[in-house]
Amino acid sequence: MEETLIEEGETNKDIEVAPALIAVHPTQKSVAVAVGSDLRVFDFQGVSAVSLVDDTSGPFHKDSIRAIRYSADGNLFVSAGDDKVVKIWSTESWCCICTVPSEKRVSAVALSNDSLYVCFADKFGVVWVVDLDGFDGNQMLVNKKAAPLLAHYCSIITSLEFSPDGRFVISADRDFKIRVTVFPKKPLDGAHEIQSFCLGHTEFVSCLDFVFTSDYPQGFLVSGSGDSTVRLWDISSGSLLDTCEVGAKAELLESNGKEEECSLAITDLCTFPDGTLIAVATQSLQGIVLLSCDLSTRTLSITRVVSIMGEAFIPTSLGMSSSAGLLWMVTGVSNLHRFDNPPLARVRIVSGFEKSSPGDPTVLEDNEILGGDKLLEKLQGSVSVEEKVFLAAAEAVKTAMSNLLVKKQYSTEKREFRKRARNDRKIKQ
């Protein structure tokens, strides 16, 4: 992997930016946004910004946060990223109860459905597990260390997810692969039994989620990819059930006649609690694509595009609670050298998905948002964000994503040249 990174020498600090992320508490008690090393939480019960408390070894994050997630019961929150630590927070006190060191940068996190285990993936393809057994919600956990759970050989893991029944842990990578592994009774001894591989994507896999209903409690996996499709899978066999060309639709809308030569990567997706809808964010699309999901026929279809009018907003991350029916979107980026700190983010919300609600889903205006200016000030960094900032952000995120995840195709000559350059460097050392 070191070699891979050197070979892909474009790993340039300037373009190595991290997208803004958003996560919503399962019953919408709070919402969290991560931009760069900043973790921002707004609490709806107190209607106030949360001040995080971190008395663990190294307080707060020191480099870009790459993954955030609430536990299924909402009592825990996990954040992790380029500073090679995983922080576990109590959402009651918003105290950091534990900082777990990682050997490498962290690219994805997940919690087991019973909140007993935190899993995280590093950029070398190893998934680690930390047990929280015995944690009662208050005390700090000291000297927690992670044990290796499984590995994708030298690939960047982009997403981790537990199946709704908790039996499987799903890991996706830049090598187009989705692996379904039985989550064992003793995870600290490793997860050795592979249930299936879901193979069909032709570019990096960027995001995973499950759709499930009371009729289909085990649910089906949905994945988004750099190949601009969203796919539906049966994880027990690894069979591909349906493929939806979301990028093509987004491209049609976006290009407005001008030629876009590359297809648009899916950046994030978010399934709705009732298992019938999936919101999809793609590079360059100012809005989201809504897919409807029919589990009885195992099909996906595009139902509509929700465009964001009046402002060039391209979401970098999506989030939803399991109850409130609001889709949260954020756009933003860790560091943009042309703009001042602190890193800015822009938050928008779509409402009106309920079948009972009159009319179409609509993007709420800032003054319609629960929490109002206080919320925006906390999560965005300021009440109003200049449009050019987040357009630049979306562009930077797109470049960073393709630098990180898309495989370079070098000509033979260029490859030879790069090899020689590498040897030269070795000799000098």
Partner 1 sequence: MLENEANPTLSKSTGLPRKRFYRARAHSNPLSDSHFPVPTSPCHVDFSLHYPQFCSSSDQIDSSKKIQFADIGCGFGGLLISLSTLFPDTLMIGMELRDKVTEYVKERILALRVANPGQYQNISVVRTNSMKYIPNYFEKGQLSKMFFLFPDPHFKEKNHRRRVISTHLLDEYAYALGVGGIIYTITDVEELGDWMKACLESHPMFEALTEEELEADPVVKLLSSATEESQKVARNGGQTFQAVYRRIMPAA
Residues that bind partner 1 (CB under 8 A): 1-4, 7-8, 126, 148, 150-151, 153-155, 175-177, 179, 181, 189-194, 196-197, 199-202, 238, 407-408, 410, 415
Backbone Cα Rg of the chain: 21
- By C-beta, is 7 or 16 nearer to partner 1? 7
User: How many Å apart are CA 368 and CA 354, to the nearest integer?
Assistant: 18
User: Which pair of tokens denotes residue 186?
Assistant: 């003793």
- By C-beta, is 29 or 407 nearer to partner 1? 407
Find out whether 263 and 248 touch, Cβ atoms under 8 Å: yes
Query: Closest approach of Cβ 236 to partner 1, in Å?
Result: 11
Residue 395, sorted as left (phi over 0), alpha (psi -120 to 50) or beta, turns out to be alpha
What is the distance in angstroms between the CA of the first residue and the CA of the last residue of the chain? 20
Query: Closest approach of Cβ 168 to partner 1, in Å?
Result: 14
Query: Closest approach of Cβ 426 to partner 1, in Å?
Result: 13
- By C-beta, is 50 or 404 nearer to partner 1? 404
Residue 245's nearest CA partner among 260, 262, 265 is 265
5, burial (CB in 10 Å: exposed 0-12, middle 13-18, buried 19+): exposed
Query: Closest approach of Cβ 322 to partner 1, in Å?
Result: 32
- By C-beta, is 88 or 156 nearer to partner 1? 156
- By C-beta, is 24 or 127 nearer to partner 1? 127
Residue 44's nearest CA partner among 366, 321, 382 is 321
Query: Closest approach of Cβ 182 to partner 1, in Å?
Result: 9
- By C-beta, is 64 or 107 nearer to partner 1? 107
Query: Closest approach of Cβ 3 to partner 1, in Å?
Result: 5
CB atoms within 10 A of CB 307: 13
- By C-beta, is 53 or 153 nearer to partner 1? 153
SS3 label, residue 366:
helix
Q: What is the 3-state secondary structure (H, E, C) of 111-177?
A: ECCCCCEEEEEECCCEEEEEECCCCCCCCCCCCCCCEEEEECCCCCEEEEEECCCCCEEEEEECCCE
At 90, phi and psi to the nearest 5?
Answer: -85, 130
- By C-beta, is 95 or 154 nearer to partner 1? 154
Query: Closest approach of Cβ 248 to partner 1, in Å?
Result: 19
Query: Closest approach of Cβ 8 to partner 1, in Å?
Result: 7
At 308, phi and psi to the nearest 5?
Answer: -100, 115
